[in-house]
């Protein structure tokens, strides 16, 4: 599988990364999925201390132990579970981040984290303090690089201007084109890699897409719009591509994108996603067709 440089860092990530949140809590099942990912050429694994109260990090660390020097492990911090474990609070403070990284390192059973990410963020946060925490962790050797996970334009701009982030994780798909107008061009211009999540739009762009259309719609798409847009995409493009291939290759066509993160709850999904990423890129004509069918949504909040 092809690899791309993550921003201006020395990390080269597979074009498809594994989003580990959907691994579940069964160690054997998680091991099988991660091994299938490694066999498919995936070297980029994304987790967070929030997932399953930290158990996800333990599963990922254990499954990747024998391949540690060949993979890139990304995790996140900033959310704190309460004592009852029925909710969490936001804490981007320097103290919390520097404590959280030690707990993540222990659960992952590793001496360093390749990419440490802020798991959210608001414009009201003490951003300079948060950046200071990440810079200190980098200088101390606990992390190699840092980034943020955010879809908020005002927060993204602050970190691009004030920090040395190498990546921004954001939701992006054919049905969620909000990053195209300002976020992706900003990252590309400043040498920050985009790591995209949700490329299949909660399964709407998978092979079972029409089964997943609900009366609630998706983002600013109504139920009726989805029932028009999705079949039209399939009609115009699926003679030569699977819907999964169209969805993943659309993300990879943007020059700002370093890797597309997709979850998998079974081995077959890994194989299908990896096969789709290995296919030839979409042509300019095909990209034009997609953009003529899918609406250009825009970020309305967090300006």
pLDDT in tens, 153-196: 999 999 999 999 999 999 999 999 999 999 999 999 999 999 99
Listing DSSP states for 60-120 in one string gives HHHHTGGGGGG-EEEEEE-EEE-TTSS-EEE---HHHHHHHHHHHHHHHT-S-EEEEEES-
pLDDT over threshold 80, residue 67: yes
pLDDT over threshold 90, residue 238: no
Confidence class for position 73, pLDDT limits 50, 70, 90: very high
Phi then psi for residue 25, to 5 deg, are -120, 5
Q: Into how many domains does the chain fold?
A: 1
Whether 234 is covered by a domain: the verdict is yes
Cα 190-292-244 angle, rounded to 5 deg: 75
pLDDT at 52: 74
Backbone conformation region of residue 2, classed left if phi is above 0, alpha if psi is from -120 to 50, else beta: beta
Whether 303 is covered by a domain: the verdict is no
Structure tokens at 159: 């970190």
Assign 3-state DSSP to the chain and report helix, strand, coil percentages, each to 5.
Answer: 45, 20, 35
pLDDT over threshold 80, residue 82: no
pLDDT at 185: 97
Whether 111 is covered by a domain: the verdict is yes
Residue with structure tokens 């819907």?
243
Q: Name the residue with higher pLDDT: 296 or 215.
A: 296
pLDDT at 213: 65
pLDDT over threshold 90, residue 239: no
Closest CA to 119 of 173, 202, 57: 57
Whether 298 is covered by a domain: the verdict is no
pLDDT at 209: 58
Whether 302 is covered by a domain: the verdict is no
Cα 119-109-81 angle, rounded to 5 deg: 35
Domain that holds residue 113: 3-293
Q: Is 135 helix (H, G, I), strand (E, B) or coil?
A: helix
Structure tokens at 110: 């590793």
pLDDT at 142: 98
pLDDT at 212: 61
Confidence class for position 80, pLDDT limits 50, 70, 90: confident
pLDDT at 69: 95
The Cα 112–Cα 252 span in angstroms is 28
Q: Which of 38-42, 69-73, 157-161, 203-207 has the lowest mean pLDDT?
A: 203-207
Average pLDDT over residues 139-147: 98
pLDDT at 126: 95
Whether 88 is covered by a domain: the verdict is yes
Highest mean pLDDT pick, 183-197, 199-213, 219-233: 183-197
Cα 34-247-117 angle, rounded to 5 deg: 50
Distance of CA 279 to the CA centre of its chain: 20
The pairing of strands 3-5 and 12-14 is: antiparallel
The proportion of the chain whose per-residue pLDDT surpasses 90, expressed as a percent, equals 84
| Size of the chain in residues | 303
pLDDT at 301: 86
Catalytic hit among 44, 51, 116, 250: 51
Confidence class for position 87, pLDDT limits 50, 70, 90: confident
Closest CA to 262 of 88, 253, 135, 252: 252
The proportion of the chain whose per-residue pLDDT surpasses 70, expressed as a percent, equals 97
pLDDT over threshold 70, residue 115: yes
pLDDT at 260: 98
pLDDT over threshold 70, residue 19: yes
12 is catalytic: no
Structure tokens at 122: 């608001």
Q: Which of 6-20, 38-52, 155-169 has the lowest mean pLDDT?
A: 38-52
Which CATH number do you get for residue 242? 3.20.20.100
């Amino acid at each position: 599988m092809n690899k791309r440089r993550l921003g201006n860092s020395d990390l080269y990530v597979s074009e498809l990364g594994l989003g580990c949140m959907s691994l579940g809590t069964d160690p054997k099942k998680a091991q099988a999925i991660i091994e299938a990912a490694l066999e498919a050429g995936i070297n980029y694994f994304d987790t967070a201390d929030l997932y399953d109260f930290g158990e996800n990090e333990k599963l990922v660390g254990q499954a990747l132990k024998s391949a540690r020097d060949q993979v890139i492990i990304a995790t996140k911090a900033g959310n704190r579970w309460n004592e009852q474990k029925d909710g969490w609070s936001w804490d981007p403070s320097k103290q919390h981040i520097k404590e959280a990284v030690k707990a993540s390192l222990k659960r992952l059973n590793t001496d360093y984290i390749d990419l440490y990410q802020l798991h959210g963020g608001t414009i009201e946060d003490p951003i300079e303090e948060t950046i200071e925490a990440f810079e200190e962790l980098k200088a101390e050797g606990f992390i190699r690089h840092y980034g943020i996970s955010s879809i908020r334009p005002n927060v993204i701009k602050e970190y691009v201007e004030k920090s040395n982030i190498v990546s921004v994780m954001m939701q992006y798909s054919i049905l969620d084109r909000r990053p195209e107008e300002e976020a992706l061009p900003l990252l590309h211009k400043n040498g920050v890699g985009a790591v995209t999540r949700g490329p299949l739009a909660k399964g709407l762009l998978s092979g079972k897409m029409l089964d997943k259309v609900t009366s609630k719609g998706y983002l600013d798409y109504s139920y009726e719009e989805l029932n028009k847009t999705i079949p039209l995409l399939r009609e115009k493009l699926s003679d030569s591509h699977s819907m999964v291939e169209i969805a993943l290759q659309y993300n990879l066509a943007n020059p700002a994108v370093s890797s597309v993160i997709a979850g998998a709850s079974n081995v077959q999904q890994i194989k299908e996603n990896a096969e789709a990423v290995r296919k030839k890129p979409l042509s300019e004509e095909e990209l034009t067709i997609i953009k003529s069918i899918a609406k250009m949504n825009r970020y309305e909040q967090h300006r």
